[in-house]
Structure 1
Amino acid sequence: MENLQTYLKWVIGLLFTLVIIGAGIMIWNQTQPMMQMANRQAAEQAQAIADDEYSAYDYQLVSGSQVLTAVRRYAMKEVFYIYVKTNTSEFGVRLSDAATTCPKFDYSSGTIDTSGITGCYTTTKEMMEISDTDYVPPQARFRSTLLRDGNDRITGIYFRQQ
């Protein structure tokens, strides 16, 4: 009789433990889609916040002075490129003293060609010199386009004079 009571206690304890484990697994399985959705939304929010910095240049018409402001503003960013096409020339902008190369750029399509590099030799001083071939007229209108890499991260801006 005593063995039967011990056996019943052991079986009831085991069943109770299995019920608790089963309930935990069921709750875990139900929360997984919610956690994945929350993670996805958090990543989208983080991307939106990061992209918000560049919203003024997302396929907008900007003046030549705003082009120069963008060059000054993003001069300290690493792995960031600015390409400009005026009515007289096309060039990559050297944002810092160390950065003299940029990825190749197709000025007709407005896309980066990752297969090679090119020189980014134009400085802000040259862009402001009226006698320079790379002069950016402050009153001119430019269509700005954001450049993205394979990870959909903004890596530059392309300004094309209208």
Structure 2
Amino acid sequence: MGNAQKALIMAAGFFLAIALITIAVVMFISAQDATKAAQNNFSDIQTELSQTAYTVYDNTVVSGSQVVNALRKFADKEQFGIQVKTGKNMTGSWYTNVIDISSPISNNYGSVVSSIPRENINYAAVEAHIDYVNPSGKFKAKIIKDKSNVIRGIEFSQQ
């Protein structure tokens, strides 16, 4: 074999190596973009799933027994409050935490005002109490979100 043939074979080997490296880099970059897109989709799904417990109460009409169940269900939630406005108490009472609904998106922390005393959940079951929730009553539910679109509370208003 002549030197020219060896040089051509060597050059072909270099071009083949460069082509394979280029293909690998292009595939790696496209796989990276696909991975980022998948991570964003997964994050959206995770956020959606974490809020499904509250979406039942998004602009719906629920019974008083569902209101009481929500009070019990979310009683131990931090940075979350439930306001119940009944026929006897039109201003409403707060359970768990008190949320500043006059300006629910006023700060990044969720507008939770924890220094105000909360009502006892047991009052919702005492018929003589102003905060009594009639199990067969109808309540309009509304979700309260903060500036970062995180659900911070639920407001129930008796109809």
TM range (shorter): 0.7 to 0.9
Which of 132, 135, 149 aligns to 1:135? It is 132
State the secondary structure of the residue aligned to 2:38: helix
Query: TM (normalized to structure 2)?
Result: 0.75
Query: TM (normalized to structure 1)?
Result: 0.74
**Aligned residues: CA RMSD:** 2.9
Shift of 1:12: 5.3
Which of 97, 100, 104 aligns to 1:104? It is 100
Aligned to 1:41: 41
Q: Determine whether 1:27 maps to 2:27.
A: yes
Shift of 1:23: 1.0
**Conserved in 2, the CA contact under 8 Å of 1:92 and 1:119?**
no
Distance 1:105 1:161 in 2: 17
The one-letter amino acid of 1:131's match is: A
Shift of 1:159: 0.7
Alignment of 1:30-109 (within 5 A): 30-89=30-89, 90-93=92-95, 95=96, 102-106=98-102
| Higher fraction of strand | 1
Aligned to 2:116: 119
Which of 134, 150, 155 aligns to 1:153? It is 150
Shift of 1:71: 0.6
Q: 1:79 to 1:66 in 2, by over 3 A?
A: same
Shift of 1:87: 2.8
**Conserved in 2, the CA contact under 8 Å of 1:103 and 1:113?**
no
Shift of 1:72: 0.4
**Conserved in 1, the CA contact under 8 Å of 2:105 and 2:147?**
no
User: How many pairs does the alignment contain?
Assistant: 151
**Conserved in 2, the CA contact under 8 Å of 1:91 and 1:120?**
no
Distance 2:35 2:60 in 1: 37
State the secondary structure of the residue aligned to 2:100: strand
Distance 1:81 1:33 in 2: 40
Could you list the structure 1 runs, at least 4 aligned residues long, displaced by more than 4 angstroms after superposition: 11-14
Could you tell me which runs of 5 or more consecutive residues in structure 1 were left unpaired when the two chains were aligned: 96-100
State the secondary structure of the residue aligned to 1:147: strand
Percent of pairs identical after alignment?
Answer: 23
Shift of 1:86: 1.9
